Chains A and B, each alone.
Chain A
Amino acid sequence: DTGVSQNPRHKITKRGQNVTFRCDPISEHNRLYWYRQTLGQGPEFLTYFQNEAQLEKSRLLSDRFSAERPKGSFSTLEIQRTEQGDSAMYLCASSLLQAHTQYFGPGTRLTVL
């Protein structure tokens, strides 16, 4: 069990550029979650997958955000036409299907200049 991994750990981009983050969950974890955390706040839910199916999306997930989990293993989160307000820590978590506990990765810190 190597834990949840996320890449890259840091990303600096200019406003208007597209960025993509990757999350590799704990192996055999069916569920994968994306959260966003800004300074001084707790993580806020963005979306989650059960295997390859995206089951829920938050209203926070504007049209510029898209997430995929094509083979039910790793997931990608893409932000198009980044804005300065997108600067945050993007966290990925995973869990077993019937479990209530989620295990988080180290996060990807995005800075939009």
Chain B
Amino acid sequence: QKEVEQDPGPLSVPEGAIVSLNCTYSNSAFQYFMWYRQYSRKGPELLMYTYSSGNKEDGRFTAQVDKSSKYISLFIRDSQPSDSATYLCAMSRGTDKLIFGTGTRLQVFP
């Protein structure tokens, strides 16, 4: 079993929809949680960073962490075609290596 599980999709939604992306994890030592966006053949771009349980909002993006359920989410409001990309969740115990999910491919159609 992988430490971090993420549905690979693809997820296809119409423009303007609310998108929900999720990851589950098994290692309770994870304390830091990140979401990266990756366009095709590009490097991952950091979108959101949260520490421990709770919510964090940045513009159209909201990250949620539920450590009791070992479950993290990323919500995208008013989705745009430019949001079409692969979204990777990542987590770490501290300032060391990141453990990634497989990524969810999102397609937002006009």
Residues of A within 8 A of B (CB): 4, 6, 31, 33, 35, 40-45, 48, 55-56, 58, 89, 91, 93, 95, 97-107, 109
Contacts and interface: CB of A to CB of B under 8 A. Distances in A.
Given A48-B97, A56-B96, A100 B42 contact: no
B44 A43 contact: yes
User: Which interface class (under 10, 10 to 19, 20 to 34, 35 or more) fits B?
Assistant: 20 to 34
A43 B98 contact: yes
Contacts, number: 66
A100 B95 CA distance: 5
B59 interface: no
Contacts of B99: 45
**What 9 A-B pairs have minimum CB-CB distances, sorted nearest first?**
A42-B100, A45-B97, A104-B43, A100-B32, A106-B43, A104-B44, A107-B43, A101-B49, A43-B100
Nearest to A9: B41
Given A43-B88, A99-B95, 18 more contacts: A4-B43, A40-B103, A41-B102, A42-B6, A45-B99, A58-B97, A93-B98, A95-B95, A98-B95, A100-B49, A100-B51, A100-B92, A102-B46, A102-B98, A103-B46, A104-B45, A106-B42, A109-B41
